[in-house]
Homo-oligomer: A and B are copies of this chain.
Amino acid sequence: MTRLELAEKIQLIKAKKGLSWSAVAKKVGQSRIWTAAALLGQMQMTPKQARAAAKLLDLSKDEEFLLTTVPYKGSLPTAVPTDPLIYRFYELVQVYGTTWKSVIEEEFGEGIMSAIDFTMELERVPDPKGDRIKITLNGKFLPYKQY
């Protein structure tokens, strides 16, 4: 069983049990986003976190162990995602890629926003014209080193 197969299984169990990611995250002791990412095969859990998740989701010992390994990351079956929800984020990269580059480099100099020393939040913003999704990306600026 690979991490991605386990991720699929976890999605089904979670749905059948009617658990929310918030509920799982509470048991695991981390944020909703990180917990979902870890259980969907993209982050390494500590043994204690894996224990908590396994208990809640009725995972076997082997599955619990698998959660404590570092996964081969990358959750998508194709380079350009076909799923519409995920594609919209790819579209942002295509449309705003050079904008991010230009604005960040103007403000910070040559470097990047870390995707490792990084956190993310996702909130619902009520709006009479239709609720909105607010995603906050927060990454350390890493300047290129001259040498």
Where the two chains meet, the residues of A that have a C-beta atom closer than 8 Å to any C-beta of B are 2, 7-8, 11-12, 15-16, 20-21, 30-34, 36-37, 40, 42-44, 65-66, 68-70, 72-120, 122, 124-125, 127, 129-147
Whether A97 and B75, one on each chain, are in contact in the complex, defined by CB atoms closer than 8 angstroms, is: yes
Whether B75 and A40, one on each chain, are in contact in the complex, defined by CB atoms closer than 8 angstroms, is: no
Whether B144 and A44, one on each chain, are in contact in the complex, defined by CB atoms closer than 8 angstroms, is: yes
Whether A99 and B11, one on each chain, are in contact in the complex, defined by CB atoms closer than 8 angstroms, is: no
Considering the complex, give the chain B residue whose CB is closest to the CB of A134: B138
Whether A85 and B113, one on each chain, are in contact in the complex, defined by CB atoms closer than 8 angstroms, is: yes
Contacting residues, chain B, for A103 (C-beta < 8 A): 21, 32-33, 36, 122
Q: How far is the CA of A140 from the CA of B129 in the complex (A)?
A: 9
Contacting residues, chain B, for A7 (C-beta < 8 A): 98
